[in-house]
Amino acid sequence: MKRTLILGCARGIGAAGARLLAERGDRLALGDIDLPALEQLVDELHDGGAEAHAFGVDAADPAAVTSFVSAGARQLGGLDAAWSNVGVQIAGTAEEVTVDDLDRSFAINVRAHALVCGAAVPLLRAEGGGAILITASNSALLSEPRMLPYATTKAAALALARQVARDYAPEKIRVNALCPGWVDTPFNEPAWANFGGRERFLEAVPGLVPLGRISTPAEVARFACLLLSDEAAYVTGHAFVADGGELLG
């Protein structure tokens, strides 16, 4: 039974992951900006007999992120694993994006992850080690039309995970990056717009993804739960891609 913290889990991959972690017996501290949706998830987990605590967190607010990690670990009585799953998808070319677009992309897609790591490391050290997972994207490893803010910051998130893994491996703190491809969640609406909307995008999927379909949140969440578990005890500093073969080109 692990004490696990997730930032960014009111819906999508994070919510699916919270359900799976609860099923395996983890005690959970969950944070998201959408507190009503998060509280619904926590009620669902409670109904299933799990321990879970909801915290409203704006990932663009540095103080809110670090306070969440501290408060969540305090609620759980310590910390064994942390998953920073927040992200924002902002589309645009170098000519189209604004300074605000760039700053918000960096604040949520990079800085929030770094702050989770910085706050979680001392807590994991106190337990003799643990696991951190950062959600990046396969966009960290490829280029797509009109996705400059997203692709750039996701590449930075991957570099961040590798750097933190290097710094803290001697203390038995593992850090990996989860790099999903296309997942069927509203998070991808800005990218779908580049195709003319979700339905037009789905028509294009067979030409984009060798497996011929997009993923469900639960499929990716199972991968995340593996990386947070002791089953991955000898794995650190890597990008784990779940994208149906999209990187094959």
Q: Is 168 helix (H, G, I), strand (E, B) or coil?
A: helix
CA of residue 217 relative to chain centroid, distance: 12
Q: Which two tokens stand for residue 212?
A: 């011929």
Burial group, residue 248, by CB count within 10 angstroms (0-12, 13-18, 19+): exposed
C-alpha span between 27 and 8 (Å, rounded)? 16
* Sequence-distant (≥ 6) Cβ neighbours of residue 61 within 8 angstroms: none
Are 247 and 209 in contact by the 8 Å Cβ rule? The answer is no
| Cβ count near 64 (within 10 Å) | 18
CB within 8 Å of 207: residues ≥ 6 apart? none
Catalytic residues: 150
95 Cβ contact partners less than 8 Å away, ≥ 6 residues apart? none
Three-state SS sequence of 31-65: EECCHHHHHHHHHHHHHCCCCEEEEECCCCCHHHH
Handedness of CA 108, 114, 119, 123 (dihedral sign): positive
